Structure 1
Amino acid sequence: MEKIIGIQGAQGSFHHLVAQEYYGEDVKVLEFMSFGELVKSLVAGECTEAVMAIENSIAGSILPNYALIDENNLKIVGEHYIPINMNLMALPGQGIESIKKVYSHPMALLQCKDFFKEHQHIKLIEDTDTAEVAKRIAAKGSKHVAAVASTAAAKIFGLEILAESIHTKKSNATRFLIISKKKKEPNGDVVDKASLKFELESKRGSLVSVLNIIRDFDMDMTKIQSMPIIEAPWKYSFFVDVKFDNYSEFQKAMEILEVMTEQLHVLGTYKNSL
């Protein structure tokens, strides 16, 4: 059965590039303009798996996406990192001085804030997707308007790159998750990373006790992210990523954490891609 992969954004978006790198150039994709629509489609079975950005090395975590994964009982079955190269593009024959407005995804604009400080005449407007803006400019023939997107988007939609690599930090990279309705079983494949979500009793040392278990079972914690629990003011849930060498030891650790936490949810086990 052919896989259909859901992506946030149009062809030429960074989600599309990740899908091609992870699944192959000929991957069949379904485009969605919001993460909410993407998840809804995955839950409904319209796509087999989906690509979802989760954090950027400059702008940080995309917190609502953690909630979407958790609330819809989705599983993380893989991850992929991609360098983010932001470019300013517009219809051919224009210069930066003639550009009045730039539309792009808010994360993209945030990553390029230093560049736009040097071009105060340009008004920045947040939009749903980097590549979708490029597509719209080309379709409407919009002058004096530019997009911030990938070189692939410029090529696909016939736009001219006015300025290359305008992101502030040249080491800029984004981590993407591969999500599914079904969890990934080892089945002989390398599985050495996991994403967890847990809630703790509000008492002194509860988080330290959990972290000690992670240490005692020789797991390397690569990320910890707290999120407020809406229904319980001043109480937090924790999203944690861990790497491990022994899957059976990881399972033993989870059995212990199941007892120590008020709620434990293994969001997924998969292969570490770094």
Structure 2
Amino acid sequence: MIKTVAIQGARGSFHHIVSQEFFTNPVAIIECMTFDRVVDALITKECDAAIMALENSIAGSIIPNYALIDDNKLHIVGEHYLDIQHNLMALPNQSIEAITEVYSHPMALLQCKAFFKHYPHIKLVEDKDTAEVAERIQKKQLKNIGAIASVMAAEIFELDVLAHSIQTIKHNETRFAIVKRTNSEVPESDINKASIKFEADHKRGSLATVLNVMSDCKLNLTKIQSLPIIKTPWKYAFFVDITFEAYEDFAKAKSIIEIMAQGFKVLGEYKNAKL
């Protein structure tokens, strides 16, 4: 049973929220400021599992995290989609007009850019983590300083929410992967999604041939992301997410692609969280 989970960010971060929503039983968290530290905690067995954001509906894929999972031979055992709601918060009894600076993660600042056009007096400052800023404001009692973070962070660190849901695009969703050191314990009958990686030459038809196999085997391609192979110019690794109704179809595709493509690897087999 999973008891301890490594997350990127502090208590109240979106990774923390996922840890509360995904697991049936309560889990303890290890707060990590970088994804490299998250992976280290998992590899050194400080934790039983890790949570890593993989893509955002606005910003797209977080490519380095795919590489971290691949390079460290980790396994995706589940996924979770979270509706990202950004909120402006500060110490109690302050107005937005009193706020002179707002600190947050660069992505959060970017996603809330339109809101702050109405408040030109506020300086936006990039920081490491959304919830960590909220924690710092509370610990140091920083007046006239705001944070952009989750409602959970405001509750944990006793801050007032000055404005709710300030992100420009209201439907803002992030997909998170649940990662472990070993392969999935998900029963084969429940597996209907997989993440795979393979390599293809930079020549006509090399990628199309693999994609045709997926189509012939009744697999639905939901995500494809290329990454240059640094040591081999003009050759690419492809990270692909696929869904399917029958595991037998995926098993058939695996056996064929393994022969056709170089560097084939299954990064995870798990249950589709979007059903």
TM-score band, normalised by shorter chain = over 0.9
For the residue of structure 2 that corresponds to 1:200, the secondary structure is: strand
Q: What is the Cα deviation at residue 234 of structure 1?
A: 3.4
| 1:75 is the counterpart of 2:47 | no
Mark the runs of 5 or more structure 2 residues left unpaired by the alignment: none
| 1:56 is the counterpart of 2:52 | no
Instruction: Give the structure 1 partner of residue 240 of structure 2.
Output: 240
Q: Conserved in 2, the CA contact under 8 Å of 1:201 and 1:261?
A: no
Instruction: Give the structure 1 partner of residue 157 of structure 2.
Output: 157
Residue type of the alignment partner of 1:20 = Q
Instruction: Give the structure 2 partner of residue 208 of structure 1.
Output: 208
Give the ranges of 4+ consecutive aligned residues of structure 1 lying more than 6 Å apart after TM superposition: none
Report the more deviating stretch, 123-132 or 135-144. Answer: 123-132
Q: Conserved in 1, the CA contact under 8 Å of 2:219 and 2:249?
A: no
C-alpha spacing 1:122/1:237, structure 2 compared with 1 (3 Å) = same
TM-score normalised according to structure 1 size: 0.96
Instruction: Give the structure 1 partner of residue 136 of structure 2.
Output: 136
Q: Conserved in 1, the CA contact under 8 Å of 2:7 and 2:29?
A: yes
Distance 1:33 1:168 in 2: 26
Report the more deviating stretch, 174-183 or 224-233. Answer: 224-233
Distance 2:21 2:2 in 1: 17
For the residue of structure 2 that corresponds to 1:134, the secondary structure is: helix
Distance 2:241 2:144 in 1: 44
| 1:256 is the counterpart of 2:256 | yes
Residue type of the alignment partner of 1:203 = K
Distance 2:188 2:213 in 1: 26
For the residue of structure 2 that corresponds to 1:125, the secondary structure is: strand
- For residues 97-132 of structure 1, the C-alpha deviation after alignment (integer angstroms, 9 at most, x for no partner) is 221211111221121121122222222222221111
C-alpha spacing 1:120/1:227, structure 2 compared with 1 (3 Å) = farther
Q: How does 1:171-182 map to 2 (within 5 A)?
A: 171-182=171-182
Residue type of the alignment partner of 2:95 = G
For the residue of structure 2 that corresponds to 1:197, the secondary structure is: strand
- For residues 134-158 of structure 1, the C-alpha deviation after alignment (integer angstroms, 9 at most, x for no partner) is 0000000011111000001001101
Q: Conserved in 2, the CA contact under 8 Å of 1:59 and 1:110?
A: no
| 1:22 is the counterpart of 2:22 | yes
- For residues 137-181 of structure 1, the C-alpha deviation after alignment (integer angstroms, 9 at most, x for no partner) is 000001111100000100110101111100011111110000001
Distance 2:43 2:153 in 1: 28
Mark the runs of 5 or more structure 1 residues left unpaired by the alignment: none
Distance 1:109 1:59 in 2: 12
| 1:107 is the counterpart of 2:107 | yes
Distance 1:61 1:160 in 2: 32
- For residues 6-63 of structure 1, the C-alpha deviation after alignment (integer angstroms, 9 at most, x for no partner) is 1111111111110000114732111111111000110111100011111111111111
Q: Conserved in 1, the CA contact under 8 Å of 2:77 and 2:186?
A: no
| 1:225 is the counterpart of 2:216 | no
Residue type of the alignment partner of 1:16 = H
Number of residue pairs matched? 274
Residue type of the alignment partner of 1:226 = S
Report the more deviating stretch, 11-20 or 100-109. Answer: 100-109
For the residue of structure 1 that corresponds to 2:190, the secondary structure is: coil
Distance 2:135 2:95 in 1: 19
Distance 1:116 1:264 in 2: 46
For the residue of structure 2 that corresponds to 1:154, the secondary structure is: helix
For the residue of structure 2 that corresponds to 1:199, the secondary structure is: strand
Q: What is the Cα deviation at residue 252 of structure 1?
A: 1.4
Distance 2:59 2:256 in 1: 34
- Sequence identity (%): 57
Q: Conserved in 1, the CA contact under 8 Å of 2:201 and 2:236?
A: no
Instruction: Give the structure 2 partner of residue 42 of structure 1.
Output: 42
The alignment's C-alpha RMSD in Å is 1.4
Distance 1:247 1:156 in 2: 43
Residue type of the alignment partner of 1:167 = Q
Q: Conserved in 2, the CA contact under 8 Å of 1:12 and 1:131?
A: yes
Instruction: Give the structure 2 partner of residue 170 of structure 1.
Output: 170
Distance 1:25 1:255 in 2: 36
Distance 2:33 2:206 in 1: 40
